[in-house]
Copies of this chain bind each other. A is one copy, B any other.
Amino acid sequence: MSTASEAHRPAGRPRTAVLSRERILAAAFELADVRGGDFTLAALARSLGVRPSALHHYFAGKDELIAGMRGQLTARIGDHGFETSPWHVAILSWARAHRLTFGAHPGIIAALATLPVADEPESIVDYERIAAALRRDGYPEHRIVPAIVAIESFIIGSALDSLAPEDNLRPVANRGIAPHLTGAEEAARDHALARGHSAATETFEFGLTALVAGLRAAGTSAETDPTSGADA
């Protein structure tokens, strides 16, 4: 909790500034840490002991605030050895860091996923580093961006999936009509538990490993022409 109980502040410019971009962002992350809490500017202002309109002095609107949060998260995730390790090794660490970071702020995952990635400097630097590693390792030029986007899509989708209740695919009521699904879900959960992971983590690791392995094979093998699907 931030210092929200200042009794009452009179109108007019305060002698010393109450807010700052950093203070607002810190409070925003605090707000995003609680799961059910609706992430609104009004709630953010309340936690800062301030009126909602005061926030517009530092961020043009809600979208810009969220973009600022994403920029800070991206910078925080930072490098993961793309200069020294092969891309398919560094990308695993990078992807795990993203998942953990998103998971730490469940209240904002949906907003991050929904808002289109603007060209923030932090993101550009991040992508550039990965693209450079892929090229250095001989990945086909025209496959570099698709590979990055595919991994990012998987991470975003996984983060959203993690918001769902634990027993999402384990509806006890439907045990009778979905025997294969129910059995498979129990087997997956038991396996994860035996390895000391949550089911969600084990699922993420399995999917990530498979995706990166598939992308690596598609990049190193001779360019085959996959069956083309219907376009939109």
Residue contact A113 to B113, C-beta cutoff 8 Å:
yes
List B contacts of A210 (CB < 8 A).
Answer: 147, 150, 211, 214-215, 217-218
Whether A26 is near chain B, meaning CB under 8 Å from some CB there, is no
| Beta-carbon contact of B110 and A114 below 8 Å | yes
| A131 interface residue per 8 A CB criterion | yes
Spot the interface stretch: A3-11, A17-25, A50-58, A167-175.
A167-175
Bound Cα distance A232, B72 (Å): 21
Q: List residues of chain B with CB within 8 A of the CB of A203.
A: 145-146, 149-150
Is A158 an interface residue when CB atoms closer than 8 A count as contact? Answer: yes
**Once the chains bind, are A153 and B158 in contact (CB under 8 Å)?**
yes
**Within 8 Å CB of A100, what residues of B?**
230, 232
Set of chain B residues within 8 Å of A148, measured between Cβ atoms: 169
How often does this chain occur in the complex, in copies? Answer: 2
Question: Cβ of A200: which chain B residues have Cβ within 8 Å of it?
Answer: 232
Q: Which residues of B contact A173 (CB under 8 A)?
A: 119
The answer to the question of A90 belonging to the interface, with a C-beta cut-off of 8 Å to chain B, is no
Q: Which residues of B contact A161 (CB under 8 A)?
A: 149, 152-153, 156
Which parts of A98-155 form the interface with B (CB within 8 Å)?
Answer: 100, 103, 110, 113-114, 116-117, 119, 121, 124-125, 127-128, 131-132, 134-135, 141-150, 152-155
- Give the interface of A toward B (CB within 8 A): 92, 96, 100, 103, 110, 113-114, 116-117, 119, 121, 124-125, 127-128, 131-132, 134-135, 141-150, 152-158, 160-161, 163-165, 168-169, 171, 173-174, 177-181, 183-185, 187-188, 190-191, 195-198, 200-203, 205-207, 209-215, 217-218, 226, 228-232
Given contacts A156-B161, A205-B229, 8 further A-B contacts (CB under 8 A): A116-B164, A121-B177, A128-B180, A152-B157, A156-B156, A198-B231, A206-B226, A213-B217
